Amino acid sequence: MTGDLPLKANRASKNDRAEVGVGTLIVFIAMVLVAAVAAAVLINTAGSLQQRAQATGKEATQEVSSNLKVVNVFGVVSSNKIEDLRVVAQLSAGALPMDLERAIIRFSDGDNTFNYAWTPAFDDNGDCDGAGTPVDTGDVGVVESDFVSMWLRPSPSATNDLGCSGKSVMQPGDIVELRFSLATARAMDVRSAGYVTIMPEMGSAVNADFRTPATYGSDTYITLR
């Protein structure tokens, strides 16, 4: 009987190492899965934030680099009142090309506000000599409706051949004279305030406020700003 004791002792002992190993493996796999899901969420979020940051940065760059700079504002006197306004503008340093066809000019005299859209330029005969859309409204623009862009640089032209050939994109270094008219009833008297805002497609709006002088004298062109 003494020979059976070791055998009974072996039978009574229990080896649970395998069960502990399986539990640890399950916990490890769960942790790996959770980490993988978290990593996927972080990667997706980071990619989305990166795309938004790039889009925001691009828009901010366009806002900063697409600005116009007003050089001068002139008024054309007729019957002792200013009926036509001419705004000389150029792009700011480092600015991107700007399509004036997409720009809007807003003029206010303090009581009324008018919006002007770009129209193909024309000569004093009211047309583009067959190179563009005829506009039979004189040599400035449709009253309280449109403005025309007369290129002063790089190629000044009395008939604005550049505008008649469909040029509306302003490049760095260009100087453009934007012309628009006021209706006779809106013509500006002396000592009157005017507010001009140029709103490009991209970039900040540019303001050019002025006040007409105390007298026009015999001058036809008055420097307002």
pLDDT digits (tens, 9 = 90+) for 157-209: 655 556 666 678 888 888 999 989 888 888 999 999 999 999 988 778 888 99
What are the boundaries of each domain within the chain? 1-65, 67-223
The pLDDT assigned to 58 comes to 54
Q: Letter for the amino acid at 60?
A: A
The pLDDT assigned to 134 comes to 41
pTM, entire model: 0.64
Low-confidence ranges of the chain (pLDDT < 70): 1-22, 53-66, 121-143, 157-166
The pLDDT assigned to 135 comes to 43
Quick count: other Cβ atoms within 10 Å of Cβ 133?
Answer: 11
For the chain, the DSSP string reads: -GGGHHHHHHHH----HHHHHHHHHHHHHHHHHHHHHHHHHHHHHHHHHHHHHHHHHHHHHHHHHS-EEEEEEEEEEETTEEEEEEEEEEEPTTPPPEEGGG-EEEEE-SS-EEEEEE-----TTSS-TTSS----STTT-STTTEEEEEEEESS--TT-HHHHTT--EEPTT-EEEEEEE--GGG-B-TT-EEEEEEE-SSS--EEEEEE--S--TT-SEEE--
Closest by CA position to 205, among listed 115, 140, 143: 115
Q: What is the largest CA-CA distance in the chain?
A: 141
Q: Which fold has domain 67-223?
A: Immunoglobulin-like (2.60.40)
